[in-house]
Structure 1
């Protein structure tokens, strides 16, 4: 009768959705219910005698062993959570209720699969964490670093990369890339496939790390991809894919916001035609340069460059040709100065060059001569040569003024003096 009762009890236990198991003092399974196969993927026969810790996700093993020791010391654990790796490599979240049976020298535990609940919690946490990261980080690199840490809390993400797609150049860039296996070609290929298709890519190949890539999608299309790759035997699941897709939507929105902010800042500081600093940005740089010059007792110069008879080019050939000519002038002016100097377009056909750290005042004159020579070379256009003749006025600090307004005024007046002299001659 007693044996029959035990057998019936075992049958009833096998009907439970939660798994019931018993682990001996050495940490090996000595009893598992039928639900263990549904949760862990192993048959009851495969689990009996297997060390429990072998199934635990490596990242959770240390705290799991600590909890097991506390249970064996007489401290029941009614709501302990950790992650296990199924036989097929998928990671499942488990909540345990466990206690130690001193009489039987066994840990008796009931395991509940809470993977779906954890996924829902992760989505909610992702919303807040990514949103906070997007607003708290100053640049995209810092954002990607924080996103990597956040994703790593929910799924294996030791290897993580962000790919951004430049549609105009049809080119991928990798502003954030972590790969301990150093296999850039496979990562490039997978990211390119995600961007091309606009669809997630889940690769679980025997003998190879699992890979999961999802597109960074926006209203304007696919702007890039997120990709994670496991470093061990873990296998990504559709749950992981859903989570990463949720994260990618937040990241894509954050990227677009920061890119828009960068474009607005660029537009506020740079001339859209020539890509040179505009008047406002030049004034910022001049202010900083003057502060350095005062502190170091140094010298600087402003060169005011105006293109003579530029209006005739617009009138004769049209504004499109005039724009091309201004772009060529900008390119040539940059060739005449050092990287530490500033070439700015302040409006129309007027340019200003800021020369810092002048060793001698004559250096500004040599730069002006170089500008006249280089701009004097004809610009070929549809079988004819367009000529550029500049008028250049120079203001020196501190000889011609110690404030920005004084230097601008002196350089402007000097430029008009040169222009008047050219007309008179």
Structure 2
């Protein structure tokens, strides 16, 4: 007896280390298998991104290194694809996992180096849009790597460090404050990825390990249960060994009961007919029924008898079920997501006596996965969208479809008129929702009592839940919502730069209490949209600064030149006429020198406003620098129209300017060059207009001159005669006979 007990106590110790080693190898092999499975889409994405980069940077960086980089990337992706095909075809055993992992890590590291070369050696310095493109692609590839390379930490780090690290000093070395902030943001992003990648890898490794542990525990429980039945049969045949057998059985039963009761998973033993034989504490906690309520009855958590019969049929026919995800119901009727594993239990004769099921509640995990998927979809969507109006309807649709809302809308705050108006909407295709949508789009919310849905969000700048619309009398659209079958609502603010930009609202057809997952997603969505809007506003500001004069707000020299080139192309194609007026102020230098540059800047800014008001609607006005302005006139019919525009400009400039509590006057000299007689391209027209302007200065200033001598002969003389007649009328020198 003593020897048997000692053998029983010490026997399992030897294979335990072997089993642990085998399990570790199997877990690692599963990680590598996940790595290869997830990598296929990344190859195509890398090739597409490389093609976009080569096309975008073709005229920005040297072509030969760029082509070499692109071909190298395509060749690398082809090689990695062949590695993937070879791995999937061979399906190597767990013992070869580390070798296959090293091949994959080498490919990932090489890809990271190529992206690092793009962010350093091929970095498009001096072209902000192309710099942003390179940053966007590299950070996008790193974010994708979190999902694709997370199963094996070494693969993720091999890609992350060489791909992202080189671009950070490259951006910082550009020398501007914008690049400094971008470099800091990239450094923060690198640190976040450096921390997040291993966490995701660890989570995946733990999930795989739990899967193997659950399977092993299930098999162990099945074998123990079979041993207990065998022991019960032997008790009747071996009376003389009853005490020994009873003691062993009692010990085995106690171990089994302790294991079952201590297990965090629901463990249910059922007979061949599917009736519950045992039901542990975890099962009672997860599903709500006590063991006394379910013993001898079919398992009550299945969605229906057909589902239960199909499950029992699979197990009784020898199929081992491991980690199958399903939806079960609790005693209160609510649905939960579960992961089910099951194994057949045989009697002493080898016949199927029943089966064990091990059930894990994965509702929270599924909710977190849904949250992550929604945020990932929205992040990807916003990274590719060109405008708020393009992105928001799709964001609303994603939130509605993911969390069971049937109506969603974005409200925009009109700061000028201090009101909220409904912008984009999304509805489930139900006829009853059409009237509610139209009513919402026609409604304007103004500040007032903090009641209802939108006003409460407006006032508090915080999310608001209405669990039951029928009980909330403050909702202004309550009757319309109830008529559309809507029972609950949720709204959250969109903040840009710490200020309310608008809000998003969602309605459901059932009463819903505040949901923590939905609230977290709303917080993330709000932050992402706020960042997206701020980024688009910054891009528009950068575009304006790059194309407009900072002092006057007019087109600068570069932008005016581009506009003139486009106008010349149109004029040539459609055989139309155009002209350029070159305006130079007379006497501006004296004001600037005596009153100071502030007064000179004020005069130039005021003059820009005046010139805008006196020009025709289709005319283009620009500042060349200093006190020089240019006007592009398109589509005129008669040369006399140019004379009228020049006259208005002279009269506008001649009006007094109030500077430092005094009135000051300047005049203008204007040179006019017309297409096609005075030039066929932008530089020639501007040069000839400038020559004509200096001719106007030589003629005494405060006048205009055409570059064409014939036009000067006819139009300028006509303008002088009109001025003389106007002066004669004012002085009363004309008499009617």
What TM-score, normalized to structure 2?
0.43
Equivalent position of 1:394 in the other structure: 672
Measured in 2, the distance between the counterparts of 1:82 and 1:11 equals 17
1:391-423 CA distances to partner (integer Å, 9 max, x unpaired)?
211110001000110001011111122123225
The 1:399–1:228 alpha-carbon spacing in structure 2 relative to 1, beyond 3 Å, is: same
8 Å CA contact 1:215, 1:222 repeated in 2: no
Check 1:422–1:187 CA distance in 2 against 1; reply closer, same or farther (3 A cut).
same
Are 1:159 and 2:413 matched, yes or no? no
Corresponding residue number in structure 1 for 2:548:
270
- After TM superposition, the structure 1 stretch with the greater mean CA deviation from structure 2, 255-264 or 295-304, is 255-264
Please list the CA deviations of residues 153-208 of structure 1 after superposition, one character each: whole Å capped at 9, or x if unmatched: 32316221053576xx6956768432715243459775565455443233335314
8 Å CA contact 1:141, 1:175 repeated in 2: no
Trace 1:211-290 onto structure 2 (pairs within 5 A): 211-217=489-495, 220-230=497-507, 232-235=509-512, 237-239=514-516, 240-290=518-568
Matched, 1:125 2:373: yes
Q: CA deviation at 1:131?
A: 2.4
Map of 1:140 onto structure 2: 388
Residue 305 of structure 1, CA deviation:
1.3
SS in 2 for 1:180: helix
Instruction: State the match for 2:687 in structure 1.
Output: 409
Q: 1:258 to 1:350 in 2, by over 3 A?
A: same
Structure with greater helix percent:
2
Q: RCO higher in 1 or 2 (8 Å CA, sep ≥ 6)?
A: 1
Deviation string 1:304-359 (CA, Å, 9 cap, x unpaired) is 11222122333333333333322221122122233322111221221111111122
* SS in structure 1 at match of 2:592: helix
Paired position in structure 2 for 1:356: 634
SS in 2 for 1:228: strand
Q: Deviations over 1:345-375 (max 9, x none)?
A: 2212211111111222332221111112233
The CA RMSD over aligned residues, in Å, is: 4.2
CA contact (8 A) 1:194 1:214 kept: yes
- The 3 A distance-change label for structure 1 pair 361 and 186 is closer
2:424 is aligned, of 156, 177, 183, to 177
**What secondary structure, in the 3-state scheme, does the structure 1 residue paired with 2:699 have?**
helix
User: Which residue among 595, 608, 618 is the counterpart of 1:340?
Assistant: 618
Alignment partner of 1:129: what SS? helix
What residue is the counterpart of 1:105 in the other structure?
none
Structure 2 residue 265 is matched with structure 1 residue 17: no
Contact map agreement 1:393 1:416 (CA 8 A) in 2: yes
Partner of 1:49: none
Quick check: 1:421 aligned with 2:699? Answer: yes
Provide the C-alpha distance between the structure 1 equivalents of 2:488 and 2:661, rounded to a whole number of angstroms.
Answer: 60
8 Å Cα contact 1:163/1:225 also seen in 2: yes
Which of 202, 216, 224 does residue 465 from structure 2 map onto?
202
CA contact (8 A) 1:299 1:358 kept: yes
CA drift of 1:70 comes to 9.0
- Which protein is bigger by CA-based radius of gyration? 2
TM-score normalised by the chain length of structure 1:
0.70
Contact 2:420-2:446 at 8 Å conserved across structures? no
Shift of 1:245: 0.7
The 2-side partners of 1:149 and 1:133 are apart by 12
Q: CA deviation at 1:380?
A: 3.9
How far the C-alpha of 1:302 sits from its partner, in A, is 0.7
Q: Are the counterparts in 2 of residues 276 and 345 from structure 1 also a CA contact under 8 Å?
A: yes
228-237 vs 297-306, greater mean Cα deviation: 228-237
- The answer to whether the 8 A contact 1:93-1:114 is kept is no
Unaligned runs of 5+ in 1: 1-5, 21-30, 37-51, 53-67, 99-109
